Amino acid sequence: MTSQMEASAVPARSGSPTGSPRGPSTTSLQAAATVNAGLNRELSPRSSTGSLTRTHRSSSNAGRRRSNVLMNLQLNDPTVPGPGEMVSEHGIPQHHRAPSLGELHQELEAEQEAHVNRLLQMIRQQQLELQRLQASNPNNSHGASGEDSSAVSDRPAPPVSQGPVPSPLVGSYPRSPVFHHRPSLDMARADLHRRSRTPSRGASPRLRSTSISAESGDWALGGRDESAFYQAEAQMLTRENQMLKHRVHELQKQLSELSASQGSNEPPTPSSLCRSSSTAGPAAESAEADAHVIGGGVVGIAVARQLARRSSGSTVLIERHTALGTETSSRNSEVIHAGLYYGADSLKARLCVRGKHLLYDLCARHGVGHRRTGKWIVAQTAAQRAALERFHAVCRDTLDVPTRWVSAAEVARDGEGVVAAAGALESPTTGIVDSHGLMTCLAGLFEQDGGIVALNSPVVGVRPKDGGWAVDVQDAATGETSTITADTIVNAAGLGAAHIHNMIIGAADASPERQLTLHYAKGSYFSYAASRPRVSRLIYPVPEPGLGGLGTHLTLDLGGRMRFGPDVEWVSDPTDLAALSASTPRGAARLREAVAEIRKYLPGVDPTALAPDYAGMRPKLKGPEHAGFVDFVVREEEGFRGWVNLLGIESPGLTSALAIAERVEELLYGNNACEA
């Protein structure tokens, strides 16, 4: 849901002033692993010959257990037997024995050690970049940054893992970096060549009791105790890995603040869409495609992927930033919503419920980090209790969404310090997802189906042309403009959706009454550093009418860390994504307000352990004066054939993304032929 702003408003160096709040270092190899894991399915007919050759070579070894990281990066030689296997030759059947626990331990130990080394390397690179920025502008350097850097460099490396990782919170679900597009685009050719990616070979299965044979003797000789020891060691390493990731995140925030305060001396990356036209001459100033999707947030990527799967031509995803998913898609609670809060007949309810099922299925099939945490919605007054009863009735009678009343005794026993004076309603299908990993996976699937990603490409003009659409795209670095045409266009620009909408309306000389204005609700999040209270599920207050959000709720990340937010602050500038500072009067006041809201349902929270973390922006179709429900807008605009508008896509946009993609396809083509 990334915005497409005017070219003059686009910073040359990056898409947003502070960068993605939780986006990890781009040096991590986990992005490639996530993408390739997401592509582990049948080759499309458009796969290259090289891809077919590699896949055929590995097909005979598909059942062979391999290291997750190395296999996904295609660095493992399939001709070399894995641990516990005997060398096999063609035509000669061999006997195989199950790997012993020790052999499994050695392989997983090496894999975890490589993972820790990558994290340490990421931290070191962040430190070097901090030092470079501080040296170039010492007046804007923060003393704490240098102290933090030295503290990390002196910290010893964590111990190597001692066994398999048993829970869904572990290294198999790392936060994946934001997807960065490969720069090889040739928009100068009238016939855009299709591209494909090689699907990854099968990843190694997890360790189960059936993997340990009686023949090896490990299980009979106390393998249970040994396995429990290894699991405990793995859990300890997981926590240390999460601490390292958190440190990387803190360093990235410091980098963003320094970069925003002094600007970048490095030349901006040229637009991947316009790059070829700069060297190919006048013939390269325009190109054709079948569909354009404007906006590279999670909804835009999902829509582009859906259209690319059914199209025999080309689909272009146009994004003004240097990476996908740097605005609303990466600045949210990362919650998979169940669909409780919206009217039974609303588009939000239908798309949320459908999208939830599609999202859980996609995450399971492609290895995207997620977890069904469940959620309690807690009421403190009789009016809030009445609202819970309405939610429960709609879920039971209309939406077929499971909910359950939590008794007062259960709240007292299992609530972990949570207070629900007037009752609590449980939503067992609510969960959390790695939003960066999800976008990385969807972008990889999109490119596998021949899609083209155009980064650093703000849209400066859209107009009807010959029964289709012409889109003028500017190179953010050079200012050069190229034009691409398509039969259909989808406005998924998120924060910039109104700008694209008005651009089209103005070019068509339509009625001024059709011009649109969006409103922006900024929400700040707060990290929590104390060990108590420690809550293991999501906790939401009952939403207050007219608040503009769901309240300052408690959510978790995949590492189990608690965070609170977002609050609501109405702003006029959608690029105002700077996090609060507790040292300023405004930041301190908003922190006090957040503490007061949190203590209504979690009175034991330690206010000294709360700190401003990051901020997100929600595009609203109505402003703060409107207290009623406002639905999504997903429609083909009247009088504009082939133009689908996505407006006001806020929460639950992340959950609904795959269902929105289905609906867009249905609006454009009249059917839903592709499976999600």
Is pLDDT larger for residue 43 or for residue 450? 450
Please indicate, yes or no, whether residues 273 and 304 belong to a single structural domain of this protein. Answer: yes
623-658 b/e with 16+ CB inside 10 Å = b?
eeeeeeeeebbbebbeebebbbbbbbbbbbbbbbbb
Q: CA 56, CA 114: separation in Å to the nearest integer?
A: 29
Q: CA 471, CA 464: separation in Å to the nearest integer?
A: 9
34 belongs to a structural domain = no
The tens digit of pLDDT for each residue in 324-362 reads 999 999 999 999 999 998 888 899 999 999 999 999 999
How would residue 289 be classed by pLDDT, with cut points 50, 70 and 90? confident
470 belongs to a structural domain = yes
Instruction: Give start and end residues of each alpha helix (H) in 565-650.
Output: 585-598
CA angle 422, 427, 432 (to 5 degrees): 125
Number of H helices, E strands in the chain: 15, 22
Phi and psi at residue 293, in whole multiples of 5°? -120, 120
Please indicate, yes or no, whether residues 409 and 305 belong to a single structural domain of this protein. Answer: no
The tens digit of pLDDT for each residue in 192-222 reads 433 333 333 333 333 333 333 334 333 333 4
The answer to whether 169 and 560 are in contact (CB under 8 A) is: yes
Please indicate, yes or no, whether residues 512 and 528 belong to a single structural domain of this protein. Answer: no
> Which amino acid type is present at position 65?
R
Number of domains in the chain: 3
Please indicate, yes or no, whether residues 366 and 285 belong to a single structural domain of this protein. Answer: yes
How would residue 402 be classed by pLDDT, with cut points 50, 70 and 90? very high
CATH number of the domain to which 652 belongs: 3.50.50.60
> Which amino acid type is present at position 281?
G
Give the pLDDT of residue 272.
55
Please say if the pLDDT value at position 28 is more than 60.
no
The continuous run of DSSP H or E covering 526 comes out as: strand 519-528
Please indicate, yes or no, whether residues 218 and 162 belong to a single structural domain of this protein. Answer: yes
Q: CA 274, CA 264: separation in Å to the nearest integer?
A: 22
443 belongs to a structural domain = yes
The answer to whether 479 and 7 are in contact (CB under 8 A) is: yes
CA 38 to chain centre: 14
Please say if the pLDDT value at position 541 is more than 60.
yes
Please indicate, yes or no, whether residues 569 and 611 belong to a single structural domain of this protein. Answer: yes
The tens digit of pLDDT for each residue in 608-658 reads 999 999 999 999 999 988 878 899 999 999 889 999 999 999 999 999 999
Please indicate, yes or no, whether residues 574 and 539 belong to a single structural domain of this protein. Answer: yes
Q: Once rounded to an integer, what is the mean pLDDT over residues 276-285?
A: 39
157 belongs to a structural domain = yes
224 belongs to a structural domain = yes
Q: How many CB atoms lie within 10 A of CB 357?
A: 13
Q: CA 588, CA 592: separation in Å to the nearest integer?
A: 6
Q: Is residue 399 helix, strand or coil?
A: helix
**From its phi and psi, is residue 433 left (phi > 0), alpha (psi between -120 and 50) or beta?**
beta
Give the pLDDT of residue 570.
93
> Which amino acid type is present at position 211?
S
382 belongs to a structural domain = yes
Give the pLDDT of residue 620.
93
> Which amino acid type is present at position 186?
D
Mean pLDDT of the chain: 74
Give the pLDDT of residue 167.
38
Q: Is residue 512 helix, strand or coil?
A: helix
Closest to 34 in 3D by CA, of 243, 200, 249 = 200
Please indicate, yes or no, whether residues 649 and 562 belong to a single structural domain of this protein. Answer: no
37 belongs to a structural domain = no
How would residue 544 be classed by pLDDT, with cut points 50, 70 and 90? confident
Give the pLDDT of residue 380.
96
209-232 b/e with 16+ CB inside 10 Å = b?
eebbeeebebbeeebeebbeebbe
Give the pLDDT of residue 324.
95
- In terms of residue numbers, what domain contains 223? 96-168+212-260
Please indicate, yes or no, whether residues 505 and 566 belong to a single structural domain of this protein. Answer: no
**Which of these ranges, 84-93, 528-537, 569-578, 664-673, has the smallest mean pLDDT?**
84-93
The answer to whether 333 and 21 are in contact (CB under 8 A) is: no
Please indicate, yes or no, whether residues 163 and 280 belong to a single structural domain of this protein. Answer: no
Please indicate, yes or no, whether residues 122 and 232 belong to a single structural domain of this protein. Answer: yes
Query: What's the token pair of residue 350?
Result: 């239908």
